[in-house]
Amino acid sequence: MKILILNSGSSSVKYQLLDMTEQTVLASGLVERIGEATSKVKHVRRPGTDQEHSHSEAMSIRDHATGLTRVVELITGPETGVIASVSEIQGIGHRIVHGGEAFSAPTLVDEAVIQGIKDQIPLAPLHNPGGLAGIETALRLMPGVPNVAVFDTAFHQTMSPEAYRYAIPKELYSELKIRRYGFHGTSHFYVAKQCARILKKSLQETSCITVHLGNGCSMAAVKHGKCIDTSMGLTPLAGLVMGTRSGDVDPALHAFLADNKGLSIREIDTLLNKESGLKGMCGHNDMRDIHDLIAQGDTDAQVALRVFCRRVTQYIGQYLALLDGTDAICFTAGIGENDATVRRLSCATLAGLGAILDTQRNADALRGQVTEISTPASLIKIFIIPTNEELEIATQTMEVLGAKEAERESGTH
Ligand code: ADP
């Protein structure tokens, strides 16, 4: 069964074609700078195998439809292709950033679902239009192939009001749906399921803290398989320190900056989303550069790393208190999977709470592998669990399509 995964942003489309029978990636790639004078396309056939073949091109791609047309040509083409025709694709899974309160599970796309995603645009004005363009283009280019929308917010919809409501006038919730939503849900769900598998328990028996540290960073408290709290909020700006996002700051900062620097609300929003975080503190948003700077004695980089890790520790503490019993803390994504120093600093003061890091195992952990990095005496296990959002989207897409098929069969029998 072949599933195409599309992650369509405002000016980019990332894609992966997966063979779900073999659990392999047939092709992956990225179309970027859609709408600019020169767009870029990168396509890799059979990545990570001895048949790997990379193809890059620069051309003018005016919109998502042109971009996706090119993707279809590449995945079916003579040199770059992996399938003879799109009729081999059994389903298309779309990553959609915001499902609001309307979507708490992956959903087969129809007219009502498209309208439902449109209705969430005020909550994600930068992200949902790209996702919609991806869906609408896929429906046109590959008619007859079912499309499934997989929402970044869905996993967090199990939070209770005390987790998702903000202490602001209640009308703001009823009128504008201002509340905590949380993001990276596909990754948190995937990692929680992997954690259950490693512990040889069902997901319903598993409680864990998932720590996703990539370009964007967020955490989730998962109790008996369900998310009970998460660090991102109405938008992905809240919570942990990130590459260019501040994470939590005093909410009065907007007024302070407007009064003292004459910045507009838009400028402050850009400052907190694009010029803050690690980049704001030391000029670099990639954690590898920060380690290089620290090695050269850069104190700003040292402070940035410490602030980043302290925030992770604080959220772990919060979630340990809320969960009332946790099986594991699971680090994932670019920094979480690869950066032993970040994991060591983030876990340095958790021994009293029952989570003891084995510093040697942590330092020796191999890239890309599930690894237990806590000591045998640790009451709470600490794991590195590589995330795989595309595989999770494909799995959820198959589940939706399987359920649809079962529904059809039971209707006809
Ligand atoms: P995204 O959120 O875009 O999916 P990733 O999960 O790939 O991002 O994480 C990207 C970040 O991971 C980079 O910005 C970099 O800071 C960090 N990273 C990647 N590899 C390493 C490494 N070996 N050591 C430390 N940090 C790393």
Span 33-42, pLDDT tens digits = 999 989 999 9
Nearest Cα to 213, choosing from 152, 153, 278, 161? Answer: 278
Give distance in angstroms: CA of 284 to centre of ligand 1: 13
Q: Which atom of ligand 1 is nearest to the CA of 333?
A: 6
* The pLDDT of residue 375 is above 90: yes
Task: Return the higher-pLDDT residue of 125 and 173.
Answer: 173
Does 333 sit in the ligand 1 pocket, CB within 6 Å?
A: yes
List the one residue out of 313, 312, 314, 290 whose CA is nearest residue 303: 290
3-class SS at 37?
A: coil
35 lines ligand 1 (CB under 6 A): no
Provide the pLDDT for residue 412: 55
Residue 337 Cα to ligand 1 midpoint, Å, equals 8
Mean pLDDT of 311-321: 98
Ramachandran angles phi, psi of 133, nearest 5°? -60, -40
Nearest ligand 1 atom to alpha carbon 286 = 16
The average confidence (pLDDT) of the chain is 95
Q: Is the CB of 286 under 6 A from ligand 1?
A: yes
CA distance 57 to 148: 29
Band of pLDDT at residue 409, cut at 50, 70 and 90: confident
User: Quick one: which of 70, 74, 124 has its CA closest to 97?
Assistant: 124
pLDDT tens readout for residues 126-166 = 889 999 999 999 999 999 999 999 999 999 999 999 999 99
Burial zone of 111 (CB within 10 Å; 0-12 exposed, 13-18 middle, 19+ buried): exposed
CA dihedral 296, 298, 303, 308 (to 10 degrees): -50
Distance CA 78, CA 293 (A): 46
In this prediction, residue 413 carries a pLDDT of 53
Ligand 1, atom nearest to 389 Cα: 4
Q: Is the CB of 12 under 6 A from ligand 1?
A: no
Tokens found for residue 117:
């995603």
Please tell me the residue having the least CA distance from ligand 1 atom 12: 334
Question: Under 8 Å CB-to-CB from 75, ≥6 apart: which residues?
Answer: 4, 17, 26, 27, 43, 81, 82, 83, 86
Q: How many angstroms separate the CA atoms of 99 and 305, rounded?
A: 33
Q: Is 243 in the pocket of ligand 1 (CB under 6 A)?
A: yes
CA distance 326 to 364: 25
- Give tens-digit pLDDT for 248-304: 999 999 999 999 999 999 999 999 999 999 999 999 999 999 999 999 999 999 999
How far apart, in Å, do the first and last CA atoms of the chain sit?
25
Show the domains of the chain with their CATH numbers.
Answer: 2-151 (3.30.420.40), 201-389 (3.30.420.40)
- Sign of the alpha-carbon dihedral angle for 404, 20, 67, 243: positive
| pLDDT above 70 (res 404) | yes
Alpha-carbon span 118 to 398, nearest angstrom = 24
Q: Is 152 a catalytic residue?
A: yes
Q: Is 130 in the pocket of ligand 1 (CB under 6 A)?
A: no
Residue pair 142/136 in contact (Cβ under 8 Å)? The answer is no
**Given the residues 19, 63, 152, 269, the one annotated as active site:** 152
Q: Closest Cα to residue 104, out of 41, 62, 149, 171?
A: 149
pLDDT of residue 356 exceeding 60, the answer is yes
d(C-alpha 325, C-alpha 395), whole Å = 29
Distance 338 CA to ligand 1 centre (A): 8
Q: What is the pLDDT of residue 14?
A: 95
pLDDT at 75: 95
Residue 184: CB atoms within 10 A of its CB come to 29
- Tally the C-alpha atoms within 13 A of residue 350's C-alpha that lie toward its C-beta: 34
Token digits for 149?
């929308």
Given a cut of 80, whether residue 410 has pLDDT beyond it is no
Retrieve residue 221's tokens: 């408290």
Is a pLDDT exceeding 60 seen at residue 122?
Answer: yes
Q: Rg for the chain (alpha carbons), in Å?
A: 22
The single-letter code of the amino acid at 238 is: A
Contact 337 CB / ligand 1 (< 6 Å): no
